[in-house]
Amino acid sequence: MAHLDPLLERIQTDESVPDLARELFAAQAAECAQLQAQIDDVDAKLMPGIRLTNAADASLRSPASARSAVLLLMKTPRPAVQIGRQFAAWIGLTPKDHSTAGKVRLGVITRAGDEGLRSVLVVGATAVIQHVRRGGRGSP
């Protein structure tokens, strides 16, 4: 998203781009701006309603993490009570167990549970990992 505005400006000023293409890109830019405005409205409505623990409040520095937190609260049954391993199994992030006679054999990740919530959590974790790799400081 950070590179979108400079790209659109370059397209509008580049004479080698056909007029029809410029017009289509301008329409897409307007639609993108409209969607961003709708997302900002939803974020403004969500942020005051979030009541989490102090540790969770510290992690809500970006609207994306606020949306993730709200989705997590809406879709999980009493998340504060669940143990991490049970929660990972409930959401489908643990391997399938094919163990017998004391020999542990783990299979593929089951992908059971809510696909949308799992996707949001994986994207959030990936963003944190990339931030730390770039020299940022990860939150506890």
The pLDDT assigned to 31 comes to 93
The pLDDT assigned to 62 comes to 55
Q: For 94-128, what is each residue's pLDDT tens digit? A: 777 788 888 888 877 777 777 888 788 788 888 88
The pLDDT assigned to 118 comes to 79
Q: For 47-79, what is each residue's pLDDT tens digit? A: 666 655 444 454 455 556 667 777 777 777 665
Is 87 or 55 the better-scoring residue by pLDDT? 87
Q: For 29-45, what is each residue's pLDDT tens digit? A: 899 989 989 988 887 77
The pLDDT assigned to 20 comes to 92
Euclidean distance between CA atoms 52 and 65, whole angstroms: 13
DSSP labels for 10-57? HHHH-TTS-HHHHHHHHHHHHHHHHHHHHHHHHHHHHGGG----HHHH
Question: Considering the chain, what percentage of its residues have pLDDT values greater than 70?
Answer: 77
Give the closest residue to 29 by CA, choosing from 9, 49, 43, 59.
Answer: 9
From residue 51, give the alpha-carbon distance in Å to each of 63, 87, 118: 15, 21, 22
Residues β-bridged to residue 103: 100
The pLDDT assigned to 94 comes to 76
The pLDDT assigned to 81 comes to 58
With 0.75 as the threshold, say if the pTM is over it. Answer: no
How many helices (H) and strands (E) the chain has is answered by 6, 2
The pLDDT assigned to 49 comes to 62
